[in-house]
Structure 1
Amino acid sequence: MTDTTAVRVTAPGSPAATARLLAEAAHSVDAPDLVLAVSRNGIRTVHTGGSAEPGPVPRELMAYELGSASKPYAGLLLARLVAQGRVRYADRAADLLAPGFPVHPAVRRITLRHLLTHTSGLPGLPADFYPQAVPRWSTDPYGGYPADRVVRAFLRARPRHRPGTRWHYSNFAVSVLGHTLAAATGTPWEVLLHQQVLAPLGLDATRVRPGPEGAEAVGHRRDGTPVPALDTGGFTAAGAVRATPLDLLTFLEAHLAARPGGPDPRDPTLDAALTDVSRPLLRRGLRHAHTHTLTWFHHPSPYGPVLFHAGATLGQQAFLGFRPDSGLAVAATATRRVHRADTFVAAAYGLLTETP
């Protein structure tokens, strides 16, 4: 095994202390490929490494599967459509998805906001998802459950709780949101995301389908076995985004630019959407200690609030976070997923919350 590392600073004047912090954090993570990237007021420092020999494409230029860290992209898309007046947060999903179709009264009350904020009352995944997924849980659990099944499962659902009353993390709900927005706009989800989010932010290396061979990171199981590229089936909005670490920083920097005093984005509806998704919206947990925005987890830190989201696929992990008060953004990717004794998220979260 080898431990190859490289540090690249993409603007003059970046403090060497940031590079040292990234190197220290990287030592705690065991993965074939690892990228830790920080932007501080637009000055970027990128650390790449891992136990595998580097390939012909630099690690920071490979596209990594984001898994659930795709959800902030779905959130920004919804917020922008709301800013454009094309939909409202309070619109009922069933009315947009299947007007006039008979559904359970609780399903009828589920709004776009409920779907995005995990307060719809829907389970994490549809009940009939598991019989087809379990036999191929370690290879392709989602690919056999297409979009039409996700929609049908929603329309016949019986929510566990009254919408808006409880928080329960749900890939099912965010996937339904994606199909609902596609129906409401008459535009496929992939095209809609590109038009409204990826293209305006200049995210040319971000996509929802695998790109050219050699440009995609390859995930690994704990024993080092390669994992096939993820097929999300009908759950595209909840976990299909793939992006390079540099594009992840661009995405996060756009949120920082929308903060008070930051430079204006190119479009006022995008400015409004970036601000909207960063605003604290709901609380949950013991004594309501956990705060969320429309799409980000929102925690305190010694240097001000942090907003973040992590994600994992069968063999990859990603972490996205930013600290609005100090202009700090952290993007991290790895090509191994270790379920319990894993240090990846802790290392990335530490960079976000403990970096002065």
Structure 2
Amino acid sequence: MTAQDIAGAPPPAAVSADLDMRLEEAVWAVDAPDVVFACSVDGRRTVRCGGTGPAPPVPRELLRYEIGSASKTFTGLLLARLVLAGLVSGDDAAAVRLAGTRPAGTGDVTLMHLVTHTSGLPSLPSGFRRQALPRWSTNPYAGYPAERVVRAFLDSRPRHRPGTRWRYSNFGVAVLGHTLAAATATPWDELLTRRVLEPLGLAGTGLSPAGPAVDATGHRADGATPTPPFLIGGFQAAGAVRARPHDLLTFLEAHLAPEGRPLADALRWVCRPVLRRGWGHRHEHTPAWFRHPTANGPMYFHSGATSGQQAFLGFCPDTGIALAALSTRRYHRRDRLVSTAYRLLGEAG
């Protein structure tokens, strides 16, 4: 394992001996075929790679990884940009933007309800699991296209009055993506690329599979069986992003120091807490991030998983540390990547 200077990225600098040692320990603790821990301390980067599998033909730190639900942080930033540009409002009814009507069930669901998981919608549409069952361990979303997501939303009745309860919903964020695409008359891929990826210089980030020379290969829980590239169907806004580790650090560093960067106002917008929950209401949520207290100040983070890969993205403004952790193995019961990365970031300082 070595720290490597990647073309187009700031050269790595020595981090504290303690943090450097903990990064190496974290790589081995994850126990996956391919593991990358990419850390930035005040903009100085160090990457540690390893894994239980043979090294791929392309260096691990140059591959794109499926980040699953951590894609929602990109969707939140896109919403912020469109709100600040006056193209949509957080109070817009999603059904009106999608269909020009306000149905009895979902007519009161707004864009802010969707991005903050307070829409009252379930995690997945009714009937989703039945159609996904034949592909559950590989590509459960592939057979559920965009038009079906929209129709399921318009036909839904939220389980709770919008804005009253928090319930994590891939369905809700997928609907948000289709609403933003409809509001701007722009396909989702093009909208996110033009409004977020290109302004931030994320050339190593995309939304579709590109082949083994570009993308990491995922593995099932046994750490040996490869999984096919993840296909997200109509749930793109909830989990389609694939990114290189250094692109993810660029994304996180922009949140740590937005001044003078493209999207500065939007980056600040997605860091503002908008609701509290959990024991003592100590856990907060922003329009893009979970926000937990630590001994070193608040930690912003989001994790994600596909059928064969996992990701953790996080940053701590008070310490100037950002961390992207990635692996090519999906755990269904015991999740070492997320717990290891969460602990490392929260305790580093």
Give the one of 264, 285, 291 matched to 2:284.
Answer: 291
Percent identity reads 58
CA distance in 2, matches of 1:330, 1:318: 10
User: Matches of 1:319 and 1:334 in 2, distance apart?
Assistant: 9
**Within the alignment, does 1:343 sit opposite 2:329 as a pair?**
no
Taking structure 1 as reference, are residues 221 and 212 closer, same or farther at Cα in structure 2, changes over 3 Å only?
A: closer
Query: Could you say which residue in structure 1 is the equivalent of 2:8?
Result: none
Check conservation: 2:91, 2:112, Cα contact below 8 A. Answer: yes
> Do 2:110 and 2:119's aligned partners in 1 also have CA atoms closer than 8 Å?
yes
Q: 1:314 aligns with which of 298, 302, 307?
A: 307
Is the CA contact 2:29–2:336 (under 8 Å) kept in the aligned structure 1?
yes
Alpha-carbon deviations, 1:148-195, whole Å to 9, x = none?
000000000010000000000000000000000000000001100001
| CA-CA distance at 1:131 after TM superposition | 1.3
Partner of 2:12: 11
Coordinate RMSD, CA, aligned:
1.2
SS at match of 1:225: coil
Query: 1:329 corresponds to which residue?
Result: 322
Contact map agreement 2:28 2:50 (CA 8 A) in 1: no
Distance 1:201 1:174 in 2: 22
Of 332-341 and 194-203, deviating more is 332-341
Structure-1 residue corresponding to 2:61: 60
Residue 247, structure 1, aligned to residue 216, structure 2:
no
Question: Counterpart of 2:121?
Answer: 122
Aligned-pair CA distance for 1:6: 2.7
Equivalent residue, structure 1, for 2:96: 95
Separation in 2, partners of 1:15, 1:285: 34
* Residues 321 and 345, structure 2, Cα contact 8 Å, conserved in 1: yes
The SS at the match of 1:333 is: strand
C-alpha separation in 2, matches of 1:228 and 1:73: 24
C-alpha deviation, 1:350, in angstroms: 1.4
SS in structure 2 of the partner of residue 107 of structure 1:
coil
Q: Distance in 2 between matches of 1:181 and 1:195?
A: 13
Q: Note if 1:144 corresponds to 2:143.
A: yes
- Compute the displacement of 1:288 (Å): 2.1
Structure 1 residue 327, shift from structure 2 partner: 1.1
Question: What residue is the counterpart of 1:47 in the other structure?
Answer: 48
Q: What is aligned with 1:191?
A: 190
1:7, distance to aligned residue in structure 2 (A): 2.9
Question: Residue 13 of structure 1: CA displacement?
Answer: 4.4
- Following superposition, the deviation at residue 135 of structure 1 comes to 2.1
Q: 8 Å contact 1:40–1:327 — kept in the other structure?
A: yes
C-alpha separation in 2, matches of 1:342 and 1:84? 39
Query: Partner of 2:273 in structure 1?
Result: 280
Alpha-carbon distance in 2 for matches of 1:220, 1:55: 13
- After superposition, the C-alpha distances for 1:67-111 in whole angstroms (9 at most, x for unaligned) are 1010000000000011111111111111111003x622x411110
Contact 2:4 2:12 (8 Å CA) reproduced: no
Residues 209-262 of structure 1 deviation map (CA, whole Å, 9 limit, x = unaligned): 01243111000012210001111000000000000111110000010112xxxx
Query: Which runs of structure 1 show a deviation greater than 6 angstroms over 4 or more consecutive aligned residues?
Result: none
Output the amino acid matched with 1:108: G
Relative to the length of structure 1, the TM-score reads: 0.94
State the distance in 2 between where 1:12 and 1:158 align. 53
Distance 1:207 1:138 in 2: 23
**What is the rounded CA distance, in whole Å, between the counterparts of 1:177 and 1:319 in structure 2?**
22
State whether residues 75 and 177 of structure 2, in contact with CA within 8 Å, keep that contact through their aligned partners in structure 1.
Answer: yes
Q: Could you tell me which amino acid in structure 2 is paired with residue 111 of structure 1?
A: T
Structure 1 regions of 5+ residues with no counterpart?
none
**Contact persistence 2:14–2:46 (CA under 8 A):** no
- Determine if contact 1:6/1:49 at 8 Å carries over to the other structure: no
SS at match of 1:233: coil
| 1:200 counterpart letter in structure 2 | P
Q: What TM-score do the two structures reach when normalised by structure 2?
A: 0.96
1:228 aligns with 2:221: no
How many residue pairs match? The answer is 343
In 2, Cα distance between equivalents of 1:335 and 1:114: 32
Match for 1:253: what amino acid?
E
**Distance (whole Å) between structure 2 residues aligned to residue 135 and residue 222 of structure 1:** 18
Could you tell me which amino acid in structure 2 is paired with residue 176 of structure 1?
A: V
